[in-house]
Amino acid sequence: MDLKVYDIILGPVMTEKAYRLNKVDKKLVLRVHPQANKVQIKSALETLFGVKVDKVNVSIREGKRRQLNRRVIQGSDSKKAIVSLKEGYSIDLFDQAGGPAVAQQPVHQKD
């Protein structure tokens, strides 16, 4: 299958672990096309964002199986890539996307 550059990167993963990896370890966690390989992911990132990629790790998550009455339903599989950028390059996906949802404490004012 011939994938286009815009078809490979599906979007960022917005979890607390992905946020920590982005801020502390300078890594990106992205949802990618299930048939994309490491070389395609690397070239797509370098083309779209103009950065140099050091390393790409790929993880495949199988969809959960659930039982609905007598039927077993299989969820869809997904693939994510954890990308390490070379020194001096960065992409701040969380600030561009509005950041993760953070619960704010109510402010009590004394009258």
* Range list of H helices, 12-52: 16-23, 38-49
DSSP code string of 50-109: ---EEEEEEEEEPPPEEEETTEEEEPPPEEEEEEEEPTT----HHHHTT----PPPPPP-
Q: Which domain holds residue 60?
A: 5-87
**Domain total of the chain:** 1
92 domain-assigned: no
Read off the pTM: 0.75
Domain with residue 40: its CATH number is 3.30.70.330
Digit-coded pLDDT (tens) for 41-82: 999 999 998 899 999 999 999 999 999 999 999 999 999 999
Say what the pLDDT of residue 103 is: 36
